Amino acid sequence: MATIESSTSVAPAKQTNAVFPKPAGLALGDLLVLVIFNSLDASSGTATSVATPSGWTSLLALGTTYKTQVLHTIADSGDVGATNFTFPIPDTTSVFSGGKLFRISAGAVISGGFYTGIETTVNTVAGPFVGSLDITSANNILFMSILGTTGSGSTGSTENYTVSGSNPTWTEQYDEIDTSSSPDQQFSIASAPLATGRELTSFQATYSAGSWANSLGALFYVSTPLSATGTNALLSVSPTTFGNTGVEVGGNGVNALHQAQPEFFSQLGKGTSPTIWTNEAKPSTTWTNEQK
């Protein structure tokens, strides 16, 4: 479960740099989340954004005259060894800045989902800001930031943080009013655990005193990576043997009479008769030898 381990704050002021002390116990791999507000003294012009330092990621930058920014990074060895985290404020003559730096347990991630709203009517309620934030992960921390500037009244605090549906239990992390500027400004941040993901379609907060105009609201979340480990049952493959018929050799066998059917081929016969010669009778003569 992602948890806010520690945090440090900078109160609203005109300052060259917003310097946040390193949150207690910062360790390698921790998630650092900065919520910083800038607002103009004299309510005109453009509040210049705080630059995103190297290694940090800007999640959101809301507003123009008044601005809410969320930056984050995963703590490396340089962050762990640092004493402070310094964010230069571009315009120090007319800009009030302040905010909070959170250290969240290692492994937590910012998925990038958020939605924001700007309200320009004078109201005792910041919002409701209507939109959609579809959270699919479990074990989340919701963050709500509210920036309000006022036309009348400037005391009290922000309270009654609410999201659509079942409202989780909110813990206010930062609630500062600056009355040295004109107009007065109120910055507030609250967090709440959201065990099961769901879609959020509106959020709001109320001002305990006074009417505030130009409210900026931002809703975002941090989730805990969900790991899964499985096992396997051994897949055992057995052979199939095929029966073979044996041939016995050398024993007394019985043979079936093998009869071969002859095939007779037609033969052309030819017969000749020899000439029978008859010897003529030969007379018999008695020869008497003459005297020599």
Partner 1 sequence: MASTLHLASLKAGLDAVLALGTPKLVFMATGYTPNAGTDSYYSDISGSVAAGTTAVTLASVTTTLDTGNARVELDTANPSLSTITTTTNKYSIYVDTGTASTSPVLATIDIAEGTLSPVSGTLSITVNAEGHYALKAV
Which residues in this chain contact partner 1 in the complex, by CB under 8 A? 109, 111, 136-138, 223, 225-239, 241
In this structure, the number of other CB atoms found within 10 A of the CB of residue 282 comes to 6
CA-only gyration radius of the chain, Å? 52
Distance between CA atoms of residues 145 and 219, nearest Å: 7
The CB-of-217 to partner 1 minimum distance in angstroms stands at 26
Say if residues 139 and 223 touch (Cβ distance below 8 Å): yes
Distance between CA atoms of residues 182 and 164, nearest Å: 33
The CB-of-134 to partner 1 minimum distance in angstroms stands at 14
Taking the least distance from each CB to partner 1, the nearer of 107 and 151 is: 107
Taking the least distance from each CB to partner 1, the nearer of 234 and 256 is: 234
Name beta bridge partners: 38. Answer: 67, 97
Say if residues 73 and 30 touch (Cβ distance below 8 Å): no
Taking the least distance from each CB to partner 1, the nearer of 233 and 247 is: 233
In this structure, the number of other CB atoms found within 10 A of the CB of residue 157 comes to 15
The CB-of-198 to partner 1 minimum distance in angstroms stands at 15
Taking the least distance from each CB to partner 1, the nearer of 3 and 136 is: 136
The CB-of-112 to partner 1 minimum distance in angstroms stands at 11
The CB-of-213 to partner 1 minimum distance in angstroms stands at 39
Distance between CA atoms of residues 9 and 23, nearest Å: 9
Distance between CA atoms of residues 118 and 183, nearest Å: 17
Taking the least distance from each CB to partner 1, the nearer of 226 and 281 is: 226
